Structure 1
Amino acid sequence: MSDEPQAPARESILVVEDDEFIARLLRVELAGAGYEVRTATDGLEALEAAFERCPDLILADVMMPNMDGYEMTRRLREDPRTEGVSIIMLTARGVAADKLEGLTAGADDYIVKPFDADELLARIRGVIRRAEYMRSVSPLTGLPGNVRIEDEIEARIAHGLDFALLYLDLDNFKAYSDRYGFVRGDEALRATGRLIRDTAKGVGSSATFVGHIGGDDFVVVSSPEHATVIAEEVIRRFDELAPTLYEPEDAARGFVEAEDRQGKRQRFPLVSVSIGIASTAGRRFSHRAEAVQVATELKNYTKRTPGSSYTLDRRGMGGG
């Protein structure tokens, strides 16, 4: 296998402009900056092109025949195939009301013609960067999601940095959601995300990373020396938080009744947190999947023990 890095896929931009000269100018500038460029001459043609293959960004004039940029933007936002596409509007009019109408329709940015090419490229990079960031963030907790989690682990491996991967999973959370519903469940996950973030950032270093895999699964990437301190403090704070998530009578009893996976009515203890910690303190990882597998196995082992607890990867550390 070649050691040469693969070139990343080029971001695609759909230019929507009825002025042939401006469209050609934009194509040359954008292609020269490394973007894949397609063109359309009006809003209707742009909709067809975007529905066929959604671009990373649409750069559209406002005043066009058949369908203007405002209506095109509204329709793009209404269709699930294109609702998340980034849109920058171009117009010869710098009137505040025109900008407001474009932004209200769903545009991400607004540039007045004649435009400076360097400014245009900077705006495009900024809008695409924001969109990539939002796609990689959990909409529930606001924490980085799977893409950024994978990138974080891979970056530490690639640079030969020592790190610990903490995999945190809530116990008995399904019973909690069954008892209180999805809205309360989401509130509990948001509170848990804040607790993990604040604890890990407060106890660890500035390089500590916190992510949300999804559901009741979270990760922390820290230095090996901070891993157990973070785990212990998360457990302490979470065990203080857990009873406050329940109605007083359930918290006092210490359990809720709900159906298990076989449909039988059972008693489930209050939610707790199980943590598996993979670390480079005693081994090296060549790929993120190895670290994730070790942390997952340790987390699953930890879940066999009632209550909140953690298990540290001790392979290669020596001692008992």
Structure 2
Amino acid sequence: MFKKKILIIDDTPFMIKLISDILQNAGYDVTSATGGAEGLLKVRAEKPDLVILDVVMPGMSGFEVCKILRDDESNNLMPIIILTAQDNEEDKLKGLELGADDYITKPFNPRELLSRVRNTLKRIDRNRWANPLTGLRGNVEIQAEINSRIARKELFAVLYIDLDNFKAYNDVYGFASGDRAIKLTADILQDNVNLFSNGKDFIGHIGGDDFVVVTVPENAEKIAEGIITDFDKKILDLYTQEDIQRGYIVTTDRLGNQMKFPVMSISIAIVTNEHRTLFSSLQVSEIAAEVKKKAKSVQGSVWIKDQRRG
């Protein structure tokens, strides 16, 4: 199994050994540097998953190291936890202002150290897999979420959401407007999931104009209805008055032929394991593709639920 690599930058051998022992016993791969310059070299050479950085070091301080690391864009997603003296509020604030993700005060409790390391790595991993436009989690976490619910034998429903006529809109209005349509859709999904959520719902962004919501079966249709109502109303804000009154936009194909495309609508396919056993996220996506094809054949916004049994 792949181990997360943690680099400790501290000028005190005792502190390096103390932290190393705690982290290694928890299953992490640990490396160390006894000063700022050596630490910067090790970051470049070893690409650690997380850096634990002491503030007070001779020569180059932890603050200087933190600033150098954050000034390099290639380190943007590498988390930094700073080590500060007990009750030194100024060090904590300065470290956070320079881009540190968290801090640990010395002396520390081993349990606190591990909690902060785990939580920081988990948060950064989520950011790494998140869609950069919407901030929603992507394919890897979508599949993991569905497979996890299957493994726990939970009843669940998956909404696969797709925009109709998005490509034509993107071509006519431009990529910036297309991005606004994607962000608007993400916001609408979040609003309606929050409205009907049981607290365990999941929203993912497959990519482009494709989204996923994982919820419980009893909330699936209410969420779908809410999404459609909000989308049909709010999407009009992204069109010119002329196109709204006309009811369509005009674009040309590669041969120069004029083509008319209606205002964007939204298609939702709902797949549940209420009446049949589902074995994997792949199976769920294959069923959803069939149902979504039917939904997209209907003009306007619509949701269709898979009713097949067995």
Equivalent residue number for residue 52 of structure 1:
45
Change (3 A) 1:116 1:312: closer
User: Which is worse superposed, 197-206 or 120-129?
Assistant: 197-206
Q: Is the 8 A contact 2:159 2:220 kept in 1?
A: yes
Correspondence for 1:131: 124
Equivalent runs, 1:192-207 vs 2, <5 Å: 192-203=185-196, 205-207=198-200
Q: Which residue is equivalent to 1:289?
A: 282
Report how far residue 195 of structure 1 moved.
1.6
Give how far 1:291 is off. Answer: 0.4
Of the structure 1 ranges 117-126 and 78-87, higher mean CA displacement relative to structure 2 is found in 117-126
8 Å Cα contact 2:77-2:128 kept in structure 1 = no
Identify which range, 61-70 or 104-113, moves more after superposition: 61-70
| Distance in 2 of aligned mates of 1:69 and 1:262 | 62
Please state whether the residue corresponding to 2:153 is helix, strand or coil: coil
TM-fit CA distance, 1:65: 4.4
Rounded to whole Å, the distance in 1 between the matches of 2:197 and 2:107 is: 49
Q: 2-side partners of 1:64 and 1:262: how far apart?
A: 68
So what's the TM-score if we normalise by structure 1? 0.85
The one of 84, 89, 104 equivalent to 2:82 is 89
Distance 2:116 2:199 in 1: 29
Extract unaligned runs of 5+ from structure 1.
1-7
Q: Which residue of 2 aligns with 1:9?
A: 2
Identity among equivalent positions (%) equals 43
Instruction: Please tell me whether residue 141 in structure 1 is matched to residue 115 in structure 2.
Output: no
What is the CA-CA distance between 1:170 and the residue it aligns to?
Answer: 0.4
Query: Is 1:104 the counterpart of 2:97 in the alignment?
Result: yes
Distance change in 2, residues 1:197/1:114 (3 Å): closer
Contact 1:211 1:219 in 2 (8 A): yes
* Residue 148 (structure 2) aligns with: 155
Shift of 1:158: 0.4
Shift of the 53–81 alpha-carbon distance from structure 1 to 2, 3 Å rule, reads farther
Distance of aligned partners of 1:149 and 1:245 in 2 relative to their CA distance in 1, 3 Å threshold: same
Aligned partners of 1:47, 1:265: CA distance in 2, in Å? 58
1:121 maps to 2:114: yes
**Contact conserved, 2:158 with 2:214, CA < 8 A, in 1?**
yes
The DSSP-based 3-state class of the residue aligned with 2:287 is: helix
Which segment is superposed worse, 121-130 or 244-253?
A: 121-130
Q: Which runs of 5+ in 2 are unaligned?
A: none
Farther-moved stretch of structure 1 (302-311 vs 12-21): 302-311
Q: Deviations over 1:97-151 (max 9, x none)?
A: 4333322221112233333333323322332233233334444334333333222
Which residue is equivalent to 2:36? Answer: 43
- Check whether the contact 1:77–1:84 (CA below 8 A) recurs between aligned residues: no
1:261 Cα shift?
6.8
Q: Does 1:273 align with 2:254?
A: no
- Name 2:244's counterpart in structure 1: 251
Aligned partner of residue 81 in structure 1, secondary structure:
helix
Q: Distance in 2 between matches of 1:55 and 1:159?
A: 33
Residues in 2 aligned to 1:120 and 1:263: alpha-carbon distance in whole angstroms: 64
SS for the counterpart of 1:90 is strand
Pairs aligned (count): 310
**Secondary structure, aligned partner of 2:40:** helix
Please provide the CA RMSD for this pair: 2.6
Alignment check: 8 A CA contact 1:275 1:302 kept: yes
Deviation for aligned residue 1:295: 0.8
Code of the residue aligned with 1:256 in structure 2: it is: I
